[in-house]
Amino acid sequence: MNHTVVVSSRLGAAPAEVWAHASTMEGVNRELAPWLRMSFPREASGRRLSSEDVGRVLFTSTLSILGVVPYDRHALQLVRVVPEQGFTEESTSWTMRKWRHERAISFEEGGCVITDRVTFEPRFLGVGPLVKRIVDRVFQHRHAVLRRLFGDAARENREPG
């Protein structure tokens, strides 16, 4: 059974600035820290996602808790990359039969809106509701990091009250 989590934030930075961060593995790990970490090969260091990455497994990553305790192996595969607008990843892992992560970045006056939509199917029966809570917490954390890095446009645009 599929489960879906959607998290969206208004950031006080242009799409190009957010993309420069979000399209690298260093950026991914900055968003996940300190709770999680994804390994990646040396050749992926500093490299941004591009349309050339579509349609093949880029690499297999070990996901670890606190950067120390491995808990999953993830075969990272992109099906869409549009620089400064987002990507769609469709991957599998030891724990996930299906993992689809869509990240959209759109211009908005004073910055941009970033939305993550994650649809997944765990391999183990009965764990879906628990995994959904965990995935939601992970992406809430990632967006909190993004708002710290780029400013929270929603908060900055509010009237004092």
Reported as a single tens digit per residue, the pLDDT across 51-86 is 999 999 999 999 999 989 999 999 999 999 999 999
pTM, full prediction: 0.92
The pLDDT tens digits along the chain (161 residues) read 899 999 999 999 999 999 999 999 999 999 999 999 999 999 999 999 999 999 999 999 999 999 899 999 999 999 999 999 999 999 999 999 999 999 999 999 999 999 999 999 999 999 999 999 999 999 999 999 999 999 987 765 544 43
The Cα–Cα gap between 117 and 134 comes to 14
Say if CB 139 and CB 116 are below 8 A apart: yes
- Helix (H) / strand (E) containing 77: strand 69-82
Which architecture, in CATH terms, is 3-156? 2-Layer Sandwich (3.30)
Domain boundaries, the chain: 3-156
